[in-house]
Amino acid sequence: MKAIELNIEKALYFAEGKFNDNKDAAVEALTKVEEGTGAGNDFLGWVNLPSETPAELLDRINATAKRLQDNCDYVVCVGIGGSYLGAKAVNTALADNFEYYYAPNPGEPKVLYAGQNISEDYTAELEKLLDGKRFGIIVISKSGTTTEPAIAFRILKEKLEKQAGKTAAKDLIVAITDASKGALRTLADQEGYETYVIPDNVGGRFSVLTPVGLLPIAVAGHDIKKLVAGAVEMENSTKHSGDGNIAETYARMRNALYADGKKIEILVNFEPKLHYFNEWWKQLYGESEGKDHKGIFPAAVDFTTDLHSMGQWIQEGERTIFETVISVAKPAVERRVPSDEANLDGLNYMAGKRIDEVNKMAELGTQMAHVDGGVPNMRIVLDSLNEHTLGALIYFFEKACGISGYMLGVNPFNQPGVEAYKKNMFKLLKKPGY
């Protein structure tokens, strides 16, 4: 099978007319993305990024990752929004579910995350964990001025300098920021940190395949060359309009459903490791489409866990939702339900079956129930969870997001609304100038 397949059959049934009608709009939107003729076209650097990523950049990132791996037991990735969600999504998807319960092995540091909240407890507890430990910092901010990561970095930098000494700390800090602007660039140049540049024409939420995502992913021990290769494959197969372009198909289907009154899309997984992939996706679609009082609200659930909390709403609540399921065809290992002589729990009817078979039947049963209950359902099937399929999935969602946003009639590449809370917060904090 291909790295990724998309099945829209169980959604088409609900809005086939509108899907057939939006073909031309999709072609126009795809052209805007590919040829840079739409609003926000100065932020299209992600479109050909995978195929244009130089091998030397990936080698350099791997060398930096090796330095951090060799010298750290913990590497704290400091960033917020697009400056951390992609790395966390991939690292969580590829890690052992219980990785954080194991002590770090030499050369295999744990990647931690900070700067995505302003919680005093989170900060203090992180400091406590890092007390006396060998740690490093990857600080990521495109603007270089975002409050949350700036506070976290100020604290962690001071701690690292105290613990390791200022000279050693310099080699344990890597900054990823703008080529020339912003406070982080000034600081990094002044302190002599190794730096990577976030390209001007790539917005935060589209930046996971730049050093923003690639360095923390490499530090976690994953193969960034395979990740980029997966993305290149998807880049090549989504350049032109047609049935083979699954990004275009997904964008068309969700816009047809939206036009039919389905205002909320729920991204569903049946693998807990994909929880943060959902979070990354929520940012990508929420910030790209939610503007001008328009846009599908991106929600997410982890099944079967949330079938026991949100299941009732999805089955019988207001019929304004549709689902997109990410299904992983093959788990990494094989485990079966054991037989039990007493059979007090009545489970012997499934004894000997793989746990994944039970999961897949839950998936199928849920799809049937939700479709019967009036919830259109799309399915994205990944062959297995690995760097290649995740690279393809990331690019698939990015491309579909660009097409979908243009079909909706918004500029998918700005986020003016994000500033509103900041202005109020700065005023309340009496920041000079506010």
The binding site for ligand PA5 (CB under 6 A) comprises 80-83, 141-143, 146, 149, 203-205, 287, 415
Cβ proximity to ligand PA5: between 4 and 137 the closer is: 137
- List 136's β-bridge partners, or say none: 75
Cβ atoms of 350 and 335 within 8 Å: the answer is no
Question: Smallest distance from the beta carbon of 256 to ligand PA5, in angstroms?
Answer: 27
The number of beta carbons lying within 10 Å of the beta carbon of residue 79 is 31
User: How far apart are CB 157 and ligand PA5 at their closest, in Å?
Assistant: 16
Nearer to ligand PA5, 386 or 415 (CB): 415
Neighbours of 236 (CB within 10 A): 12
Regarding beta strands 74-78 and 173-177, do their DSSP bridges make them parallel or antiparallel, or are they unpaired? unpaired
422 is catalytic: yes
Q: Give least dist CB 82 to ligand PA5, A.
A: 3
Residues listed for the chain = 434
Q: Which is nearer to ligand PA5, 64 or 146 (CB)?
A: 146
3-state SS of 189-249 is: HHHCCEEEECCCCCCHHHCCCCHHHHHHHHHCCCCHHHHHHHHHHHHHHCCCCCCCCHHHH
Closest distance to ligand PA5 from the beta carbon of 115 (Å): 8
Q: Is the dihedral angle over the CA atoms 406, 275, 8, 375 positive or is it negative? A: negative
* 326 contacts 277 by C-beta, under 8 angstroms: yes
β-bridge mates for residue 321, sequence order: 264
The residue behind tokens 């485990």 is 335
370 in active site: no
Q: Which is nearer to ligand PA5, 84 or 303 (CB)?
A: 84
Which is nearer to ligand PA5, 173 or 325 (by Cβ)? Answer: 173
* Residues in contact with 66: Cβ distance below 8 Å, sequence separation at least 6, in sequence order: none
* Minimum separation from the CB atom of position 148 to ligand PA5 (A): 8
**Catalytic annotation present for 287:** yes
In the three-class reduction of DSSP (H, G, I as helix; E, B as strand; rest coil), residue 219 is classed as: helix
- Closer by beta carbon to ligand PA5, 300 or else 325: 300
Residue identified by tokens 């389905």 is: 262
Catalytic residue among 287, 289, 323, 398: 287
SS3 label, residue 105: strand
Name the residue number minimizing CB distance to ligand PA5.
204
Q: Which of 308, 318, 334, 341 is catalytic?
A: 308
Instruction: State both tokens at 169.
Output: 């700390």
Active site positions, annotated: 287, 308, 422
